[in-house]
Each structure stands twice: as C-alpha cells, then as structure tokens.
C-alpha cells in the first residue's frame, strides 16, 4: 500500500512538473526586438489578431523596424514605436488594418497596436504595456506579449509627462526580426 501511494505521489508530481513547464516557443510567431540595453522577446498571438500578426511579421522580415525610435514613452504606462517619421503620425506603405478587438485583458507585457481615433487605422505602430493598460482592453488590438526582456523594456528612455510622453533623443529599435529569421 505504501509503495503504491508513493508511486501515485511520484506520478502526480511528475505530471505537475510537466504542466508547469512553459510550452515550446514558436520561432515563426516570436519576434526579437534588439535595443541598446538588450533584447525584448515578444510572442505573437495569431489566435487573437491574425491580420495584425501577419503585418508585423511582414514588416519585421523586411527590416522596417530597424532604427525606428520609441517616440512616445510614458513611465508606468507604455512605450510606443513603429513610426518611421518618429512623430507618432507615420506608418508603413502597407494598408491599414481592420480592428481585431478581443476581451483578452491588457496587462504588464501586453503588446498592442496603436491607432488614430478610427478603430480601423492600425498600421505599423505598436506599444508595450508597463502598467495601467487594462482600460485599453477591447479598444486596441492586442497581438502579442513580452515573454522575456520586460526589464529591458522598462529601461527605454521615458518622455516628458508634460508632453504626453514625447521623447527627446529617444531610444530606438536596433533590429527586429522573427526568431526563425534571426541569425
């Protein structure tokens, strides 16, 4: 009886350990964003926003994000990038995307698409949430989550609160690639 109880406990413990392990990453749905302070790894969520994920992947594959600045960074809220003009008004040459809103909540490390007042205006700009992004749930397309490097994301130079987070001499993305293509 004792031996079978120990065997059951050992089996339960091994099942618990197996469940606790993170699923293997998908290099075709993972982007690595290199900064001067290190890498930020983002797991893309095609299950939530397939069109947005495809656009981010297409832009990353062509090197669109390389050298682009974090033009708006609000301490305790988020860091925004993806505008080739660095002003917050630019975009890529690809078409704007229709909103893919979900009830999945924004939290620390969530990655969402920036847009204008029109819900269907997301294009290339995105933001990484620090805190306080819960109110964005269902209002902005959530397409990914930081799986490593949140400490690096927090080191991105912050903007002036008096200027709505606009950053002078901003940090930039050195390089952004799909993990499958990063060499």
Q: What are phi and psi of 132, to 5 degrees?
A: 70, 20
Cα 35 from chain centroid?
Answer: 14
pLDDT of residue 9 exceeding 70, the answer is: no
DSSP 54-110: HHHHHHHHTTTTTT-B--EEETTTEEEE--TTSSSS---SSPPB-----SPPP-TTE
Contact 70, 82 (CB under 8 A): no
What confidence score (pLDDT) does residue 1 get?
A: 45
Domain map (residue ranges) of the chain: 26-178
Q: What is the pLDDT of residues 158-167, one digit of tens each?
A: 998 889 999 9
3-state secondary structure (DSSP) of residue 7: helix
Q: What is the pLDDT of residues 30-51, one digit of tens each?
A: 999 999 999 999 999 999 999 9
Q: Please give the class, per CATH, of domain 26-178.
A: mainly beta
Pair of tokens at residue 67? 């050298």
What confidence score (pLDDT) does residue 25 get?
A: 83
> Rounded to an integer, what distance in angstroms lies between the CA atom of residue 78 and that of residue 172?
15
Q: First CA to last CA across the chain, in angstroms?
A: 55
DSSP symbol at 177: E
pLDDT of residue 11 exceeding 80, the answer is: no
- Per the DSSP assignment, residues forming a β-bridge with 33 are 40, 176
Cα 159 from chain centroid?
Answer: 19
- Per the DSSP assignment, residues forming a β-bridge with 72 are 80, 166
Contact 78, 128 (CB under 8 A): yes
């Amino acid at each position: 009886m004792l031996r079978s109880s120990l065997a059951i406990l050992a089996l339960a413990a091994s099942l618990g350990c197996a469940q606790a392990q993170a699923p293997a990453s998908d290099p075709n749905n993972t982007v690595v964003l290199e900064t001067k302070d290190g890498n930020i790894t983002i797991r893309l969520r095609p299950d939530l926003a397939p069109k947005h994920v495809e656009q981010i992947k297409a832009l990353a594959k062509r090197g669109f994000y390389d050298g682009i600045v974090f033009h708006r960074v609000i301490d305790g809220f988020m860091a925004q990038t993806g505008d080739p003009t660095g002003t917050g008004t630019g975009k890529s040459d690809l078409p704007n995307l229709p909103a893919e809103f979900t009830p999945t909540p924004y939290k620390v490390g969530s990655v969402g698409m920036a847009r204008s007042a029109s819900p269907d205006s997301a294009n290339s700009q995105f933001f990484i949430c620090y805190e306080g992004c819960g109110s964005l749930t269902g209002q902005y397309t959530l397409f990914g989550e930081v799986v490593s490097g949140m400490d690096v994301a927090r080191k991105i130079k912050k903007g002036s609160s008096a200027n709505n987070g606009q950053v002078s001499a901003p940090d930039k993305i050195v390089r952004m690639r799909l993990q499958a293509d990063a060499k």
